[in-house]
């Protein structure tokens, strides 16, 4: 890509996220560690940024640690100092040389050499005076390098040293001086160029360099978001989101796709390795959403932190902290305890019982603070394990479950946090990985959230929705199933916070927006649920073309739509394979026989080693109803319109009369029975006269009386032979294993088993090695709103049962 193209692309907003006003992207050290990592970051910026976005960077890889090392060598006056500085310079020069063209590289290497001279002077003269200044080089080099690479490869870019605008009060826990900072920030911005800003470093009111502590660059990013009014901040890191427990210790931890602000803050406070409470501070009064995403896997949706509805509020996580102290003293009861708790940001406290829990590192400070009250103080080493979730302290069932889960653990105290988003158990012993895994399992084992998107809100779709509220209420495996999307050919209502199932259709009518497949796919691929099921109740081939994309995304499909299951052999095999590879479940029991258990019967025979040799019968509810009812007294076309209004026909009844619908069903059954064939292998007798074949559905229905003579004749010929007319489907495998298949209108003797069915019934006759002479017969209503919607619900329950047993072991690049 040429530079001018890239600039054009970034400025014209053709990239994915260009719709957002300002977006802050922060890249952590691991994301910028090597040439390859930086190239990946450049790609992310190319795909996701626009020119007025802001990029915040940490130092490359371990540069900050290396700077700490050279500092310590300087303090120790070690002989190894100069060599360590030289190594540091070499690693920076290598990155520069590998990423930039020779002339830009030479320029940057000169600037680096100047910095190294300065660094060496500081470290050899008065290291302790320049501690923060020399640490600042890490972020400075990183910002300079990235902006130079961007300028060369993507768009005009410049580096900003955050010390030129960000002023903090370092006496007050790094609180930002907003007024000064925001004014200076605006002055530092350049139009038409992408800013790359140093994280981690700031200045205080005296103009001295300060650092923001552990994960300080994340804090810088949210401060910069607050100064710039950005709507989104993405923390690009080496993990792909925030999990319900530390995934390095708990392999079954679930990714939390959406975290309410308060819960995220509590998680940060209680030891989440990705989030830090300070990071969220600048966003407290803003509607800015924070995302955590992996720069190693940018396509995977990470975790979003912001304001959400009920579904996101149900998520629970488990976190733990070791190396803590339980500080007990009578003087910690009452308001003094409260003061102490605030002063030391205690992990938890109980001012009735007179204790606070603090980090071990705080012991000296706390002792000094308490010394003024010369009461007895005890310090006991403790750990905590906490359950964190929106307003958990107000949920008696969660309290009770947590206490039950801890029943074999020696617990000193159980404390509700002031935020109400955590219940904290204080333990005398360290919190082990085993305990964390056990508690996590007990608290989250049935916390899988399943989103359901219903596509097709016609005859069957509406009945499916009408049955949904009662199903969700009475079937326990559907407990965490949420209706999140309603889609038709024109519009869609998609809501990650869920759609009220009791008002689904009216909400759709009121709120649905125009939507095409691209928009739909982008929403579906970024869904925040553990599992997503698309229920396809459309008659559309176009919609069935999306199945492969669904499967690639791990989305499950329940189809009443027959197109995909009866697609060409190549396409069908591809779908089956993609679904299997991505562990997507694809069910379509209503595609044949509506709710009848024909698929179960065939599967059971095959599973138990039987071989099917013939399947025949009447597979069309429409044609069954028509031919069972038609006796010549009422014109055939009148009956056809009647069947259409009962909801048993296809949306276009010519799909039934042409035999195509039956042909598809026969193909689906043959595939189910283990045979490889395509529609063309099935001979099909079309009952629609040529003159009616090319019309629109409306025109066809208006001219349906043109069918009457043909069917009257067929009936008369059959009646003359004491026979009746029925539309039959049949495939037979001969002794050589050759298969023949056809769907056709037949004149049957009136005592034929296919001749006298209840109108609308299907009949399936199966011959196999075990059912040779006396075939297996399944018979019952094979079409209609209730049985089909019921069959779709049965598929929904089956999928949810299968998913309940599915265990996701976390796979994170860089971790396992």
Ligand X SMILES: N[C@@H](CC=O)C(=O)O
Ligand Y SMILES: NC(=O)C1=CN([C@@H]2O[C@H](COP(=O)(O)OP(=O)(O)OC[C@H]3O[C@@H](n4cnc5c(N)ncnc54)[C@H](O)[C@@H]3O)[C@@H](O)[C@H]2O)C=CC1
Task: Kindly list the residues in this chain that would bind ligand X in the complex (CB under 6 A).
Answer: 594, 620-622, 648-650, 656, 661, 782-783
Which of 246, 266, 350, 650 binds ligand Y (CB under 6 A)? It is 650
Cβ distance to ligand Y smaller for residue 332 or 560:
560
Q: Taking CB under 6 A as the rule, does residue 455 contact ligand Y?
A: yes
Q: What is the DSSP letter of 331?
A: G
DSSP string, 729-744: EEEEE-TTS-EEEEEE
- How do strand 481-487 and strand 348-350 relate by DSSP bridges? unpaired
Residue among 255, 665, 730, 767 flagged as catalytic: 665
Which of 230, 426, 457, 778 binds ligand Y (CB under 6 A)? It is 457
CA angle 297-299-304, nearest 5°? 95
Total residue count of the chain as it appears in this document: 816
Q: Taking CB under 6 A as the rule, does residue 461 contact ligand Y?
A: yes
Q: Determine how many CB atoms are found less than 10 A away from the CB of residue 161.
A: 18
Smallest gap from residue 614 Cβ to ligand X (A): 21
Which of 28, 127, 456, 528 binds ligand Y (CB under 6 A)? It is 456
Cβ distance to ligand Y smaller for residue 322 or 489:
489
Residue 577 near residue 584 (C-beta atoms within 8 A): no
Cβ distance to ligand Y smaller for residue 355 or 464:
464
Q: What is the DSSP letter of 253?
A: P
Residue 30 near residue 238 (C-beta atoms within 8 A): yes
Q: Is 500 exposed, middle or buried (0-12, 13-18, 19+ CB in 10 A)?
A: exposed
Handedness of CA 210, 212, 217, 218 (dihedral sign): negative
Handedness of CA 540, 546, 551, 556 (dihedral sign): negative
Residue 166 near residue 181 (C-beta atoms within 8 A): yes
The one of ligand Y, ligand X, none whose footprint includes residue 656, by CB under 5 to 8 A per kind, is ligand X
Q: Which stretch binds ligand Y (CB under 6 A): 88-96, 295-303, 538-546, 693-701?
A: 538-546
- How do strand 723-733 and strand 556-559 relate by DSSP bridges? unpaired
Cβ distance to ligand Y smaller for residue 315 or 655:
655
The one of ligand Y, ligand X, none whose footprint includes residue 620, by CB under 5 to 8 A per kind, is ligand X
Smallest gap from residue 740 Cβ to ligand X (A): 23
Q: Taking CB under 6 A as the rule, does residue 460 contact ligand Y?
A: yes
Which of 538, 613, 616, 762 binds ligand Y (CB under 6 A)? It is 538
Token pair recorded at residue 713: 């004749």
Q: Which stretch binds ligand Y (CB under 6 A): 337-345, 364-372, 386-394, 485-493?
A: 485-493
The one of ligand Y, ligand X, none whose footprint includes residue 539, by CB under 5 to 8 A per kind, is ligand Y
Smallest gap from residue 620 Cβ to ligand X (A): 4
Q: Taking CB under 6 A as the rule, does residue 594 contact ligand Y?
A: yes
Which of 281, 488, 599, 616 binds ligand Y (CB under 6 A)? It is 488
The one of ligand X, ligand Y, none whose footprint includes residue 542, by CB under 5 to 8 A per kind, is ligand Y
The one of ligand Y, ligand X, none whose footprint includes residue 389, by CB under 5 to 8 A per kind, is none
Smallest gap from residue 761 Cβ to ligand Y (A): 12
E strand map for 341-490: 348-350, 355-359, 377-389, 411-416, 422-427, 450-455, 481-487
Token pair recorded at residue 318: 């488990």
Residue 204 near residue 168 (C-beta atoms within 8 A): yes
Cβ distance to ligand X smaller for residue 648 or 763:
648
Which of 465, 487, 789, 794 binds ligand Y (CB under 6 A)? It is 487
| Short-list 539, 786, 487, CA closest to 652 | 539
Which of 644, 784, 789, 799 binds ligand Y (CB under 6 A)? It is 784
Token pair recorded at residue 518: 């691209």
Q: Taking CB under 6 A as the rule, does residue 642 contact ligand Y?
A: no
What does the per-residue mask of binding to ligand Y show for 545-584, with x meaning CB under 6 A? ---------------xxx----------------------
- How do strand 450-455 and strand 481-487 relate by DSSP bridges? parallel
The one of ligand Y, ligand X, none whose footprint includes residue 488, by CB under 5 to 8 A per kind, is ligand Y
| Short-list 759, 644, 623, CA closest to 700 | 644
| Short-list 372, 369, 337, 376, CA closest to 354 | 337
Cβ distance to ligand X smaller for residue 253 or 623:
623
The one of ligand X, ligand Y, none whose footprint includes residue 489, by CB under 5 to 8 A per kind, is ligand Y
Which residue number has the CB closest to ligand Y?
458
The one of ligand Y, ligand X, none whose footprint includes residue 456, by CB under 5 to 8 A per kind, is ligand Y
| Short-list 671, 662, 675, CA closest to 726 | 662
Q: Which stretch binds ligand Y (CB under 6 A): 29-37, 387-395, 455-463, 636-644?
A: 455-463
Smallest gap from residue 589 Cβ to ligand X (A): 11
Q: How far apart, in whole angstroms, are the C-alpha atoms of residue 748 and residue 627?
A: 12
Q: How far apart, in whole angstroms, are the C-alpha atoms of residue 598 and residue 644?
A: 24
Q: How far apart, in whole angstroms, are the C-alpha atoms of residue 4 and residue 152?
A: 10
> For residue 793, what are the β-bridge partners?
none
Smallest gap from residue 619 Cβ to ligand X (A): 7
Cβ distance to ligand X smaller for residue 114 or 541:
541
Q: Taking CB under 6 A as the rule, does residue 421 contact ligand Y?
A: no
Q: Taking CB under 6 A as the rule, does residue 543 contact ligand Y?
A: yes
Which of 24, 453, 468, 783 binds ligand Y (CB under 6 A)? It is 783
Q: How far apart, in whole angstroms, are the C-alpha atoms of residue 541 and residue 569?
A: 15
Q: What is the DSSP letter of 747?
A: E
Q: Taking CB under 6 A as the rule, does residue 544 contact ligand Y?
A: no
Active site residue 665: yes
Cβ distance to ligand X smaller for residue 616 or 622:
622
Q: Taking CB under 6 A as the rule, does residue 663 contact ligand Y?
A: no
Q: In what order do the strands lie in the sheet with 411-416?
A: 348-350, 355-359, 316-329, 377-389, 422-427, 411-416
Q: How far apart, in whole angstroms, are the C-alpha atoms of residue 407 and residue 439?
A: 10
Half-sphere exposure of 559 (CA within 13 A, CB side): 25
The one of ligand Y, ligand X, none whose footprint includes residue 459, by CB under 5 to 8 A per kind, is ligand Y
Q: Taking CB under 6 A as the rule, does residue 613 contact ligand Y?
A: no
Residue 164 near residue 142 (C-beta atoms within 8 A): no
Q: Taking CB under 6 A as the rule, does residue 157 contact ligand Y?
A: no
Q: Taking CB under 6 A as the rule, does residue 302 contact ligand Y?
A: no
Q: Residue for token digits 């902006």?
A: 147
Cβ distance to ligand Y smaller for residue 266 or 650:
650
Cβ distance to ligand Y smaller for residue 419 or 489:
489
Cβ distance to ligand Y smaller for residue 354 or 588:
588
Q: Which stretch binds ligand Y (CB under 6 A): 196-204, 240-248, 487-495, 714-722?
A: 487-495
Q: List own/partner pairs for 577-581 with CB under 8 A and 24 or more apart.
A: 578/548, 578/551, 578/552, 579/551, 581/551
Cβ distance to ligand Y smaller for residue 403 or 542:
542
3-state secondary structure string across 541-594:
HHHHCCHHHHHHCCCEEEECCCCCCCCCHHHHHHHHHHHHHCCCCEECHHHCCC
Distances (CA, A) of 312 to 305, 454, 496: 10, 21, 9
Distances (CA, A) of 813 to 28, 30, 36, 809: 15, 12, 15, 13
Smallest gap from residue 480 Cβ to ligand Y (A): 26
Cβ distance to ligand X smaller for residue 439 or 558:
558
Which of 459, 613, 620, 658 binds ligand Y (CB under 6 A)? It is 459
Residues involved in catalysis: 665
Residues contributing to the site for ligand Y (CB under 6 A): 455-461, 487-489, 537-540, 542-543, 560-562, 590, 594, 621, 647-648, 650-651, 783-784, 788
């Amino acid at each position: 890509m040429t530079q001018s193209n890239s600039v054009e692309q970034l400025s014209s907003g053709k990239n994915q996220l260009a719709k957002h006003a300002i977006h802050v992207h922060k890249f952590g050290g691991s994301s910028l560690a090597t040439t390859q990592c930086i190239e990946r970051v450049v790609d992310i910026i190319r795909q996701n940024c626009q020119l007025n976005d802001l990029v915040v960077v940490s130092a490359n890889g371990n540069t900050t640690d290396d700077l700490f090392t050279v500092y310590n060598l300087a303090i120790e006056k070690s002989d190894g100092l100069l060599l360590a500085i030289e190594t540091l310079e070499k690693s920076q020069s290598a990155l520069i040389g590998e990423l930039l063209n020779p002339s830009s590289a030479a320029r940057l290497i000169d600037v680096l050499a100047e910095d190294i001279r300065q660094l060496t002077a500081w470290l050899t003269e008065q290291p302790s005076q320049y501690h923060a200044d020399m640490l600042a080089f890490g972020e400075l080099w990183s910002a300079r390098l990235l902006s130079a690479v961007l300028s060369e490869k993507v768009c005009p870019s410049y580096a900003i040293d955050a010390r030129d605008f960000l002023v903090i009060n370092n006496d007050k826990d790094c609180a930002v001086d907003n007024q000064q900072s925001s004014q200076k920030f605006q002055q530092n911005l350049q139009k038409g160029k992408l800013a790359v800003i140093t994280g981690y470093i700031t200045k205080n009111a005296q103009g001295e360099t300060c650092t923001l502590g552990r994960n300080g660059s994340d804090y810088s990013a949210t401060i910069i978001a607050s100064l710039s009014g950005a709507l989104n901040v993405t923390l690009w890191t080496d993990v792909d989101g925030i999990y319900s427990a530390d995934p390095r210790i708990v392999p079954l931890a679930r990714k939390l796709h959406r975290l309410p602000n308060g819960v995220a803050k509590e998680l940060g406070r209680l030891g989440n390795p990705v989030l830090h409470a300070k990071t969220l501070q600048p966003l407290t009064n803003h509607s800015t959403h924070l995302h955590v995403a992996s720069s190693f896997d940018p396509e995977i949706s990470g975790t979003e932190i912001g304001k959400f509805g009920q579904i996101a509020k149900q998520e629970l996580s488990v976190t733990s902290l070791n190396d803590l102290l339980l500080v007990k003293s009578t003087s910690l009861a009452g308001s003094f305890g409260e003061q102490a708790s605030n002063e030391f940001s205690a992990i938890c406290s109980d001012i009735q019982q007179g204790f606070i829990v603090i980090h071990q590192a705080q012991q000296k400070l706390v002792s000094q603070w308490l010394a003024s009250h010369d009461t007895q103080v005890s310090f006991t080493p403790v750990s905590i394990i906490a359950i964190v979730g929106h307003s958990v302290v107000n949920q008696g069932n969660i309290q009770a479950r947590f206490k039950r889960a801890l029943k074999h653990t020696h617990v000193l105290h159980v404390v509700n946090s002031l935020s109400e988003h955590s219940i904290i158990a204080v333990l005398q012993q360290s919190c082990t990985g085993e305990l964390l895994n056990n508690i996590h399992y007990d608290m989250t084992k049935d916390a899988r959230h399943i989103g359901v998107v219903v596509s097709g809100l016609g005859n069957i779709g509406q009945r499916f929705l009408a049955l949904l509220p009662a199903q969700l209420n009475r079937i326990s495996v559907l407990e965490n199933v949420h209706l999140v999307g309603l889609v038709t050919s024109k519009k869609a209502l998609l809501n990650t916070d869920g759609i009220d199932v009791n008002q689904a259709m009216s909400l759709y009518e009121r709120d649905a927006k125009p939507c095409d497949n691209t928009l739909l796919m982008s929403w579906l691929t970024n869904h925040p649920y553990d599992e997503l099921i698309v229920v396809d109740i459309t008659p559309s081939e176009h919609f069935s073309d999306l199945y492969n994309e669904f499967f690639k995304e791990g989305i499950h499909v329940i189809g009443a739509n027959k197109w995909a299951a009866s697609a060409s052999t190549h396409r069908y095999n591809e779908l089956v394979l993609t679904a299997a590879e991505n562990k997507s479940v694809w069910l379509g029991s209503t595609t044949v026989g509506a709710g009848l258990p024909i698929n179960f019967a065939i599967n059971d025979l095959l599973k138990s080693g039987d071989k099917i040799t013939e399947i025949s019968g009447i597979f069309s509810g429409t044609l069954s109803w028509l031919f069972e009812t038609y006796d010549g007294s009422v014109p055939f076309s009148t009956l056809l319109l009647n069947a259409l209004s009962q909801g048993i026909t296809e949306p276009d009844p010519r799909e039934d009369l042409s035999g195509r619908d039956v042909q598809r069903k026969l193909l689906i059954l043959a595939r189910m029975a283990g045979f490889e064939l395509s529609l063309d292998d099935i001979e099909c007798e079309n009952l629609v006269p040529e003159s009616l074949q090319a019309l629109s559905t409306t025109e066809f229905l208006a001219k349906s009386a043109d069918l009457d003579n043909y069917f009257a004749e067929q009936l008369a010929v059959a009646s003359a032979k004491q026979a009746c007319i029925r539309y039959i489907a049949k495939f037979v495998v001969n002794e050589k294993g050759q298969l023949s298949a056809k769907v056709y209108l037949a004149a049957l003797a009136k005592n034929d088993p296919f001749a006298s069915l209840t109108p609308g019934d299907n009949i399936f006759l199966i011959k196999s090695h075990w059912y040779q002479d006396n075939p297996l017969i399944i018979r019952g209503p094979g079409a209609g709103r209730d049985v089909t919607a019921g069959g779709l619900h049965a598929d929904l329950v089956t999928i949810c049962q299968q998913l309940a047993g599915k265990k996701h072991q976390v796979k994170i690049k860089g971790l396992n």
